[in-house]
Amino acid sequence: MSLVEKTAAQLQEMIHTKEMTIAELTQKAFDRIEALEPKVDAFLALNKERATQQAGEMDKVPFADRGPLFGLPIGVKDNIVTEGLETTASSRILEGFNPIYNATVVEKLKEAGMVTVGKLNMDEFAMGSSNENSYYKKTKNPWNLETVPGGSSGGSAAAVAAGEVPFTLGSDTGGSIRQPAAFCGVVGMKPTYGRVSRFGLIAYASSLDQIGPITRTVKDNALLLNAISGHDDKDSTSANVEVPDFTAALTGDITGLRIGVPKEYFGEGVGEAAKQAVLDALKVLEERGAICEEISLPHSKYALATYYLLASSEASSNLSRFDGIRYGYRTEKAGNLLEFYMNTRSEGFGDEVKRRIMLGTYALSSGYYDAYYKKAQKVRTLIKKDFDDAFEKYDVIIGPTTPTPAFKIGEIIDDPLTMYANDILTIPVNLAGVPAISVPCGFDNGLPLGLQIIGKYFDEETVYRVADVFEQATDFHKKTPQTWEGAAQ
Amino acid sequence: MAKMTKEEVIEVAHLARLAITDEEAEHFADQLEAITNAMELLNELDTENVEPTTHVLQMVNVLREDKSIPGLDRELMLKNVKEHEGGQVKVPTILE
């Protein structure tokens, strides 16, 4: 088995038995990245010099002082600020932006001893489902380089799928961790809203955004969530709740677990392959003692419209800070201050970002506020109630992560509504704020499919337990894409 | 079905401080009209007696003791400013 297929525990064993140093592991990660980047294009900035230096120093730390993630390489989505390492959110308006502090999650990675190797491509400001909205590059899906990796955390999912790094961080506002994880055949967790601090996450839609881990296995995912969770004084929306050891939840026992299967998640637009893969997965879970029953989340079909109104409204407000004055891109063509603002923003933002800013501005403008924004907030209450009701009877809710596997690059980029429909099965989760994971559950024409397991508020433990049981019972997570062939190990 | 005109898009773009050409306004008008029409699906629902959700968790005001803490260093804060002079940010002329 090559290095890139190893879990955190296996890598630690190699380090502890002196088969490999942290410096060597870091070097191997960069070799692998350099070998695969011409095909995959997952990374924006690389942190080679500092990472190499950090790794050398870490090798001197006594084994007794090291945790389970100590010395392991990680990539970070480019909307999470990293001190001294260019952070652009894949937007021209932040080209060359060099943060002067770290996001709380990045501080936590440091505390855990992880080595940040670089920043990962994404849809501009996390708006998109294909990574085609990046100003800088188009990340490719390692399973088929003509298809998209999904989005917006497409770089984060592709880097793990390609074996460039074993761990990445993404962010999920309407499916931006789970959808690319499904498309790339890896494990992606959107934690409960408030579980992980958003301090230093460049805001898109603040009432929905949440940072989470992307990994190859469920256990590694739980390890990384352990490291980044917890209340933060710098984020007043972070929840002051206890953080359990998520890996302790992986007991392998799901006897008597009640699974709700929403019929709406098998409706119009959801492909046969995705449906069948989930039905097969449910059988696997039933064989291990779970009880599956069909349920209804009756307001599911309203989630997409609700999401785009709320997320765009919040975005129009959040993105008003980008004015070219204190940081970021500045226009060269301006006779006065108004022109300066307008030209800076028009030249700095891409089309999808402009579309959402305008939609949000429209939805919040006088005369339309009640009809659009407030209406959407009320429907959000109904969608949340669907989940509250279901979770009175069921421990988890399971369905497909996406209606279809990855689509071709360029195929739907000019059709915003079709692009938005990619997220119909992930968006309700963000509106409710509950946690959900995507784990690999099959293939359709060689492209991965994802199983979505949704849990109760702050019950990531049960979500992980079910995901782990499924992973142990199947071998989808062991399959590797063809891009691996011939690349540095 | 609501109609989104080019003029409305130009007005919204101005509110959002986005410069926009006539051609772009027409293109965005078509797309935004399709999007807002899709949003009207929500009108099927009677939400007369439904409370709006602004936040999914119970939120309380977060207060801290009123004492000063050191801010960031000025030199550091000017690191990403394109033009500055004497510790101040330079901007284009505001009054003509």
Q: What is the pLDDT of residues A285-315, one digit of tens each?
A: 999 999 999 999 999 999 999 999 999 999 9
- 3-class SS of residue A259: strand
B9 in reach of chain A (CB within 8 A): yes
Is A193 in Cβ contact with B57 (below 8 Å)? yes
Mean pLDDT calculated for residue range B43-47 = 96
B67 to chain A, closest Cα gap in Å: 15
A229 and A223 Cβ atoms separated by less than 8 Å: no
Give the integer Cα–Cα distance in Å for A453 and A254.
14
Nearest-CA residue of chain B relative to A322? B17
How far is the C-alpha of A320 from the C-alpha of A353, rounded, in Å?
12
B43 inside 8 A of chain A by CB? yes
Residue B93: pLDDT band by 50, 70, 90 thresholds?
confident
Pairing type for strands B84-85 and B88-89 reads antiparallel
**Mean pLDDT for the stretch of residues A99-125:** 98
Chain A residues within 8 A of B58 when measuring between CB atoms: none
Confidence of residue A68 (pLDDT cuts 50, 70, 90): very high
Task: Give the model confidence (pLDDT) of A270-283 as tens digits.
Answer: 999 999 999 999 99
Q: Phi and psi dihedrals of A441, rounded to 5?
A: -140, 15
Q: Which of B7, B53, B85 to mutate to test the interface with A (most CBs of A within 10 A)?
A: B53
Per-residue confidence (pLDDT) for residue B3, from 0 to 100 = 81
Give the residue among A274, A427, A305 at the shortest CA–CA distance from A376. A305
Dihedrals φ, ψ of A207, to 5°? Answer: -85, 0
Contact A315, A360 (CB under 8 A): yes
Known catalytic residues of A are 77, 152, 176
Assess contact for A279 and A271: CB atoms under 8 A: no
Q: How far is CA A374 from CA A215, A319, A391, in A?
A: 38, 20, 26
- The whole-number average pLDDT for the span A391-401 is 98
Checking if the pLDDT of A76 tops 70, the result is yes
Count other Cβ atoms within 10 Å, centred on residue A20. Answer: 17
Best of A306, A377, A378 to mutate (most B CBs within 10 Å, chain B):
A378
Select from A97, A358, A373 the residue whose CB has the most chain B CBs within 10 Å, as the one to mutate to test that interface. Answer: A358
Q: How confident is the model over A336-348, as a mean pLDDT?
A: 94
User: ipTM score of the complex?
Assistant: 0.94
Contact of B39 with chain A, judged by CB distance below 8 Å, is answered with yes
Q: For A48-66, what is the mean pLDDT?
A: 97
Task: Fill in the DSSP letter of residue A131.
Answer: S
Average pLDDT over residues A353-376: 94
CA A151 from chain centre, in angstroms, equals 8
Minimal C-alpha gap between A233 and chain B (Å): 9
Contact B18 A346 (CB under 8 A): yes
Residues 6+ positions from A282 with CB-CB distance below 8 Å? A259, A261, A292, A398
User: Which structure tokens are listed for A203?
Assistant: 């805001």
pLDDT at A144 over 60: yes
Q: Would you state the pLDDT for residue A150?
A: 97
List A57's β-bridge partners, or say none: none
Q: What confidence score (pLDDT) does residue A415 get?
A: 85
pLDDT tens for residues A11-45? 999 999 999 999 999 999 999 999 999 999 999 99
Where residue A1 falls among pLDDT bands split at 50, 70, 90?
low
Inspect the interface and report whether the beta carbons of B17 and A320 lie closer than 8 Å. yes
Cβ contact (<8 Å) for A98 and B9? no
Q: What is the pLDDT of residue A2?
A: 76
Distance CA A230, CA A246 (A): 13
Query: Among partner residues B45, B81, B92, which is closest to A336 by beta-carbon distance?
Result: B92
Give pLDDT, residue A483. 73
Mean pLDDT value of segment A331-359: 94
Band (A488; pLDDT cuts 50, 70, 90): low
Nearest CA in chain A to B91: A325
Q: How confident is the model at residue B1 (pLDDT cuts 50, 70, 90)?
A: low
CB A113 within 8 A of CB A71: yes
Contacts of A358 in chain B (CB under 8 A): 9, 12-13, 16, 18, 28, 32
Selection from A299, A362, A270, A205 nearest residue B41 by Cα: A299
Q: How confident is the model at residue A394 (pLDDT cuts 50, 70, 90)?
A: very high
Q: Is B68 exposed, middle or buried (0-12, 13-18, 19+ CB in 10 A)?
A: exposed
pLDDT of residue A307: 97
Residue with the two structure tokens 């924006």: A44
Distance between CA atoms of residues A219 and A213, nearest Å: 11
Residue A413 confidence (pLDDT)? 87
CA distances from A174 to A251, A320, B12 (A): 30, 21, 25
Among A144, A72, A49, A99, which residue's Cα sits nearest to residue A483? A144
Amino acid (one-letter) located at A390: A
How does residue A404 score in pLDDT terms, banded at 50, 70 and 90? Answer: very high
Mean pLDDT of the B38-67 span: 91
Q: How far apart are the C-alpha atoms of A233 and B63, rounded to whole Å?
A: 10
pLDDT at A475 over 60: yes
Is the pTM value of this prediction over 0.95?
A: yes
User: Using the beta-carbon criterion (under 8 Å), do A359 and B32 form an inter-chain contact?
Assistant: yes
- Mean pLDDT of the region A377-396: 98
Mean pLDDT (chain B) is: 90
Both tokens of A308, joined, read 């785009």
Kindly report, residue by residue over B60-80, the tens digit of the pLDDT: 888 889 999 898 899 999 999
Question: What is the mean pLDDT of the segment spanning A108-115?
Answer: 98
pLDDT of A444 reads: 96
Q: How far is B68 from chain A (nearest CA, A)?
A: 15
Shortest alpha-carbon distance between residue A168 and chain B (Å):
26
Alpha carbon of A401: minimum distance to chain B alpha carbons (Å): 22
What percentage of chain A carries pLDDT values higher than 90? 92
Amino acid at A41: D
